[in-house]
Structure 1
Amino acid sequence: TPKEVIDTYDVREVLEGLAAGKAVDNVTAEDISYLKKLMDDMHRCIETNDDEGLERIHMLFHERLYSLSGNKKLYQILMDLRECIKAYTHVGYSFPGRKLEAAKEHAEILEALISRNPKKAEDWARKHIERSKEAYIKELQKSKEY
């Protein structure tokens, strides 16, 4: 239901913010290179309208953040939400302009990791989820399901 989706986004906002903030302490140069490659792939998918690839890369980016948190319980909780996240991302990405906006938000999270700024990483991760929720709601409103 729309209420369940919103509840899930609210939980994700807090948990993914926590994961991103903690990831700052654990991120390596190898992780940064991997995340930069994912960002390049994300932009390529947007340019070529490869939505399936974009959604896959989106999940890989977030899964690496969860892992970098260093918190096994947090990682497992977020991974348990993975199927919901995939479905919600698909709907949210349908909203015009959301794909590019989301890519910019991922870039901000990555920049915060590179600059070793846990507050900025947490804030951008939370903004990303909040904006994803807003896009999801707007898309539902367009289809009159909300």
Structure 2
Amino acid sequence: MSMLSCRVLCLLAIVLCCVGVTHAASIPGQAGRVEEAQEKAKEVLKQKEECLNAGEAARKAAHEAQLFVDTTKKNLKTIAADSKEVEKTKNKGNELSENAMKAGGEAEKVAEQTTKSMAGPKDLVDILRSLGEYDLATSVEKKI
């Protein structure tokens, strides 16, 4: 192949690539969907963080309650001998139990909210894939 025909083919390839890129970039509503995907991704990350924090709080409350139970079992004879100590231990046990129940309830509530909010991003991933935005769809899906 001569040098001239190579140059012509290269020039033609460049022109066709530019036309293809211009055409791809001018899809109406595309920018809005990309921004929507980015906002949803941020929202999902925020909810994920809230869910992790609520779960950690519930775990800590349950651990404190279990530690109290273990300590109380170990010192049961000593505690039972003193009525004031029995009342004090009972009150502390009730308080720890309430804290664990509240933390568990909050974790359940946050998990439910997070699960409900997942429908939007999953629909968005499907929309992005249907538009051929596979990289962005995969990126959003990884953050879900």
TM-score category, normalised to shorter length: under 0.3
TM-score, normalising length from structure 2? 0.27
TM-score, normalising length from structure 1? 0.27
Q: Hey, which of these two has a bigger chunk of helix by percent?
A: 2
Larger Rg over CA atoms: 2
Q: Tell me: higher relative CO, structure 1 or 2? Use CA pairs within 8 A at least 6 residues apart.
A: 1
